[in-house]
A and B are shown apart, each in its own frame.
Chain A
């Protein structure tokens, strides 16, 4: 049996086909897919539009940090706007639709706005639409933005609330979270382990035999209140099947100790037109490959400033994906890594960065620049590479939203180029890469300068970096968690 989808790696894919609809079009994924992986497998690159300029946007991440792939689920009174396609498990008959674009998300006439973007500078609305009254323009502008559709009637589903107490609440079932839960459970403490990913790893199943341990899947810790009260949102049943189960459950858990094993988000690289569909985080591509047997493209370029993307390039190559080139901004990447990827026939461009991309609704070409001998960001010796996927890695930033909500202060560290905790909080523990992000021999985050096309630092909120100010910037450090957290841009 062949697994459906032109971008599915046949020899790796397992699972029965699952039918679903995207914008009315019948598509097939396989069991174990998320909506995002099923769309990628079918080669649907444009899944949303940027809300001001209607630039086409594709799936950028594989998790909760997804800035682009916000989709509408179900219809009528059960409609769910702005669901993250990367977190919704595919179910038979699921209706998915895009939220923006006219007449459709892939062919959007409103893209015209983007071609005259010069007149729509930041703050443009405020000045231009005040006469005779903002309320005349507001409905039109809201409609253009594409924020999804509200349900048409009262919600027919049930919702549930539960209160619970435990000795240790572990948030995140990665390696560090599972280890923390195992240790506490073996020591006789009552443990709750929370994971939001719909398809956590196999190691979570091995925990089932432990005593005093409750595992909540598809559950997101949404708030951390005083005295370790944590609110959890659990997706129990996607509804529509006549089941007696509630659709979602709100947990209020009072924990004596909280372990935040929330991991780290990979950071993007900043260059001109870095928002085209087909550009994706390298770690996300690896997750789509391992979990869902998906090739990110036919011709893939990987761009990085650290070691972690070498693994991605290697695994993709070994899975039979054509890696056109690996671009590393560092002058001297580690020899062992270079040998490994070169032995697989991957061309490495060291001390180079992507400076621009081309393609109308999907990526067609990336332009590389060599950084030359100086220490500045002057780019020489540009070259073009044809590709349909560009995987970027700008290092990893710990996920500290809950830590900050609990009152923890954060500070930017120049050595790790991420925000980290200033001091520990009582009864809250950081574990794994939330405590110490993998350094991966991080190089500087270098963005191209002296070039007029827009460089996007926050895809969700449409923040672009002005090229002129970047000229003076030297190294540009950007931390963005794509809409969940503040965007902090230093040095420009």
Chain B
């Protein structure tokens, strides 16, 4: 079970959180093609290594934030607020 540092409440057990999928997936314009929509809805990189994802502290403050988690070790490398972009990939640990 992960131990997730909520930027508003501090570290809490994973059971208090809900997972929100990968971060920084941009919704296309309404004029986008079917192909673009398909890509937005279904195509994910499934990265081995540091992976930015959204978490909701549903049984706590009820707020969303971003977490960079290493998918091989489950180490949490970075936590940042919604609307922020986190460290650029080349500076990530």
Contacts and interface: CB of A to CB of B under 8 A. Distances in A.
A254 interface: yes
B73 A227 contact: no
A407 B73 contact: yes
Secondary structure call for the B interface = loop
B23 to A, nearest CB: 20
Interface string A228-270: 1100000000000000000000000010000000000000000
B74 A226 contact: yes
Contacts, number: 17
B30 to A, nearest CB: 41
A225 B1 CA distance: 6
A215 to B, nearest CB: 24
Interface in B1-37: 1-3, 13
Contacts of B73: 407
Interface in B58-93: 73-75
The residue among A226, A228, A229 with the most chain B CB atoms within 10 A of its own CB is A226
A229 B15 CA distance: 13
Contacts of A228: 3
Contacts of A225: 1
Interface in A133-177: none
Contacts of A226: 1-3, 74
Contacts of A254: 3, 13
B38 to A, nearest CB: 34
Contacts of A426: 75
A225 B14 CA distance: 12
Interface string A357-385: 00000000000000000000000000000
B5 to A, nearest CB: 10
Nearest to B75: A426
A324 to B, nearest CB: 54
Nearest to B3: A227
Contacts of B2: 226-227
A229 B73 CA distance: 14
A229 to B, nearest CB: 5
A226 B75 CA distance: 9
17 contacts: A225-B1, A226-B1, A226-B2, A226-B3, A226-B74, A227-B1, A227-B2, A227-B3, A227-B74, A228-B3, A229-B1, A229-B3, A229-B13, A254-B3, A254-B13, A407-B73, A426-B75
Given A226-B1, A426-B75, 15 more contacts: A225-B1, A226-B2, A226-B3, A226-B74, A227-B1, A227-B2, A227-B3, A227-B74, A228-B3, A229-B1, A229-B3, A229-B13, A254-B3, A254-B13, A407-B73
Q: Sorted from nearest, which 6 A-B pairs have the closest CB atoms?
A: A227-B3, A226-B74, A229-B1, A225-B1, A226-B2, A227-B2
